[in-house]
Structure 1
Amino acid sequence: MSENTDRLGRLSELGVSIWLDDLSRENLRDGGLKSLIDDKHVVGVTTNPTIFASALSKGNAYDEQLATLTEDGAGVDDAVLAITTDDVREACDLFSDVYRATNGEDGRVSIEVDPRLAHDTEKTLEAARLLWETVDRPNLFVKIPATQEGLPAITRAIGEGISVNVTLIFSLDRYRAVANAYLDGLERAHAAGIDLSTIRSVASFFVSRVDSEIDKRLDAIGTDAAAALKGKAGIANARLAYQAFEEIFATPRWEELASLGAHPQRPLWASTGVKDPSYSDTMYVDGLIVGRVVNTMPGKTLDAAANHAEVPGDTVHGTYAESRKILDDLERMGVPYVEVTDQLEREGVEKFEVSWDELLQTVRSALDDTTAGATA
């Protein structure tokens, strides 16, 4: 076993499930994704509108399907649904052995509801049902954003037996609300006679975007004390989310659900690609090593972690007091936590909406080009 593989293997041994934050038909068909499963301990995949927009804009892997969709007279929305769910279904099948080997904990592939619905509970739930039924694989995760309107959709989806990846979580209060929505959903599912052991969920807590926004505000303050706090908020915030996870999933309410076969909603570290080149490119891997979590990494971060991640052991337990002090110091410095996390949620939804529009435009142009080619 190579030194590179040892680093990722060690992460896995410590309880960090390594998922890739990327998917394309090209890496499904050329064996690239399979090699990551075999050689780099990758046990899941996450997608989002940005990833699909990028995949569709490159190469010709989608040409044949686009031609078929054009012949069938498919509209843009139907074409996007067909293309994205086909990729995700194929990825689910690729990860089916991992899914079985981990008793359903890993081997998961996530697909996101249309982000334009992030503030509409009913339409988000309808979209989640459609994705769940269309992909039709037990190892699917439907991604629902953790907006205020998303919370009841999460509860109702879980209550119907749909496994959910809750995305765009930035604040500790919202993380607790997400966990509570999950527990509410499990209680609904049990009341409906659904086997709780068939339901899984992760809570995607975003990391690097927190540092990007807070660092910008610290630069504006411009003092040495402000500079000393740069690059610390994202990891501190995530570590405190893990503390909340431990508290929530040790309550009598949870123990009752666990006795009925329920699984805890694991924290997932998202946005782990480093934005500031002056920081270590594995800082959001090295600083968040702990059991019962997922770290979903872009390809560059995965390669960096394989090459030079520092994996000394658990880097979360024993840090809670220090992490709380960092957030308190930022507040005293004039960086308001709630204002920052609210802004990041708004921007997160907006960014995915922009990517979704790009995805629609890419597919629309491809359908038009295919039509033009057929009639030329």
Structure 2
Amino acid sequence: MTDRLAELSAAGVAVWLDDLSRARITSGGLAALNRDQHVVGVTTNPTIFAKALAEADDYADQLRELKAAGADAEAAVRAFTTQDVRDACDIMRPAYDASDGVDGRVSIEVDPRLAFETEKTIAEAEELWRLVDRENLFIKIPATVPGLAAISEVLGKGISVNVTLIFSLERYEAVMAAFLSGLELARANGHDLSRIGSVASFFVSRVDTEVDKRLDKIGTDEARALKAKAAIANAQLAYQHYERVFSTVTWDELKAAGAHPQRPLWASTSTKNPDLRDVMYVEQLVAPGTVNTMPEPTIHAYADHGETTPNIAQASYAQAQVVLDQLAALGIDYDDVVAVLEREGVEKFEASWVELLAAVKAQLEAV
């Protein structure tokens, strides 16, 4: 049988799981995905943790201990999430060692309510890094404008960062600039650049969800012909930006000092529209030095019928630009689309975090 995920990995795409729960850890499910499905990293977010804590009683014993210790909901959530991430880091440690610190990473996000507060984000990142206490951890920081300064400062402290909620090409340029500034600061602070990792999480399918809604309102044949094309075009052009930035003299100097590049990570790669091919956001974004983080059903779908075309993203730059130009000609305001998506992304994670806190508070009161 064809090992399709092995082919994807050989084409330079690291397969990461976009999910985590205590059941995955204790059942051996996460270890099995690493062993059998080439999964070499894990991403989490507030929505994932809210779902994990709501659907299982795996946290009951720890909940009772926290209650006895007088913990409030905030402390309990931090205890739950940091333990799960710490344990996942341990499971992924062999992949981390085998890849010289490039893969084998597990992400945990700062409190999403801090997305527009630079100093508090920096403090939260330091605290999470201390609590998890694993070298192969990523701290997720949203790519809001206030988040950019936090990203540089956190990297400068020697802390590895997953920059999340990137939707626009302009913001992605700013994220890469913040990464380079952060590494220069880390070098000045005496940190070993070879141990600092980073990915830039560029969101994919949500772009189609928003753009296609606007195309439906236009309703012409020309508009309908552009449906389900914006997201892939946007991400392919992001990779073009990545190639340009990581071929500069500035990067060459940091690379010579031991730094690893900030890899593009394709996030939100499950299809939201059931009429679309379920692995399209994986197949069309194959490029060397990238990560694709997927929910487990998408991983299994790719293992079953995914088709890997090496370097397809790089071969599509001209076509991708045509798509964005055609959308603009129809009146689709790109800047407005990405602004809406960033705002909604932060709001959704905030809502999940608040929901999670409320649920844990209720559980503590019921113990």
TM range, smaller chain: over 0.9
The alpha carbon displacement at 1:194 in A equals: 1.0
Match of 1:189 in 2: 186
- Report the more deviating stretch, 74-83 or 16-25: 74-83
The alpha carbon displacement at 1:49 in A equals: 0.2
Q: Secondary structure at the match of 2:315?
A: coil
**Deviations, residues 206-225 of structure 1 (Å, cap 9, x unaligned):** 00000000000000000000
Match of 1:295 in 2: 292
Match of 1:85 in 2: 82
Match of 1:54 in 2: 51
**Distance in 1 between residues matched to 2:301 and 2:227, nearest whole Å:** 22
**Distance in 2 between residues matched to 1:344 and 1:58, nearest whole Å:** 28
Q: Secondary structure at the match of 1:149?
A: helix
Q: Secondary structure at the match of 2:135?
A: coil
Q: Secondary structure at the match of 1:110?
A: strand
For residues 213-224 of structure 1, what are the structure 2 equivalents within 5 Å?
Answer: 213-224=210-221
The alpha carbon displacement at 1:233 in A equals: 0.5
**Distance in 1 between residues matched to 2:302 and 2:263, nearest whole Å:** 21
Q: Secondary structure at the match of 1:319?
A: helix
Match of 1:373 in 2: none
**Distance in 2 between residues matched to 1:338 and 1:367, nearest whole Å:** 44
- 1:205 equivalent in alignment to 2:167: no
Q: Paired residue for 2:166, among 160, 164, 169? A: 169
- TM-score, normalised on structure 2? 0.99
**Distance in 2 between residues matched to 1:369 and 1:138, nearest whole Å:** 36
**Distance in 2 between residues matched to 1:131 and 1:43, nearest whole Å:** 22
Match of 2:239 in 1: 242
Match of 1:67 in 2: 64
- 1:142 equivalent in alignment to 2:139: yes
Match of 1:122 in 2: 119
The alpha carbon displacement at 1:313 in A equals: 2.4
Q: Paired residue for 1:100, among 97, 101, 112? A: 97
- 1:360 equivalent in alignment to 2:329: no
**Distance in 1 between residues matched to 2:56 and 2:261, nearest whole Å:** 40
**Deviations, residues 113-164 of structure 1 (Å, cap 9, x unaligned):** 0000000000011110000010000000000000000000000000000000
**Distance in 1 between residues matched to 2:346 and 2:9, nearest whole Å:** 31
**Deviations, residues 6-55 of structure 1 (Å, cap 9, x unaligned):** 00000001110000000000010011111101100000000000000000
Match of 1:313 in 2: 310
The alpha carbon displacement at 1:362 in A equals: 1.4
**Distance in 2 between residues matched to 1:334 and 1:316, nearest whole Å:** 26
Identity of aligned residues (%): 58
Match of 1:112 in 2: 109
- 1:76 equivalent in alignment to 2:70: no
Which runs of 5 or more structure 1 residues have no equivalent in the other structure?
371-376
**Distance in 1 between residues matched to 2:145 and 2:208, nearest whole Å:** 23
**Deviations, residues 326-370 of structure 1 (Å, cap 9, x unaligned):** 001101101010010011000000000000011101111111111
Which runs of 5 or more structure 2 residues have no equivalent in the other structure?
none
The alpha carbon displacement at 1:312 in A equals: 2.9
Q: Secondary structure at the match of 1:194?
A: coil
Match of 2:327 in 1: 330
